[in-house]
Amino acid sequence: MKTMQVRVEGRVQGVYFRDYTRRQALLEGVDGWVRNCPDGSVEAVISGPENAVDAMLDWLQVGSPHARVLAVHVKEITPPQTFPNFQIRY
């Protein structure tokens, strides 16, 4: 298990990035949350098996179909956290 805090920069708001992130998280089998930030970026916390978290991090490099990801900043959270599911936070 591992937990990663992620900030995605670029054109990631107004392109359903959070919804696509939640859908992808369900496919990958990870838990956590995603939210828009006031500076126009998107923040997420992803927790689960290492291979599933890594697959999710790879997906975030591209994101939703209309997104244009310019940068992804990743920080590991230790100890790993657990979440009941993956949610969009408002």
Catalytic residues: 18, 36
Q: 3-class DSSP state for residue 78?
A: coil
Burial of residue 54, with CB atoms counted within 10 A of its CB: 0-12 exposed, 13-18 middle, 19 or more buried: middle
Alpha-helical (H) ranges within 15-79 are: 17-28, 50-60
Cβ(4)–Cβ(74) below 8 Å: yes
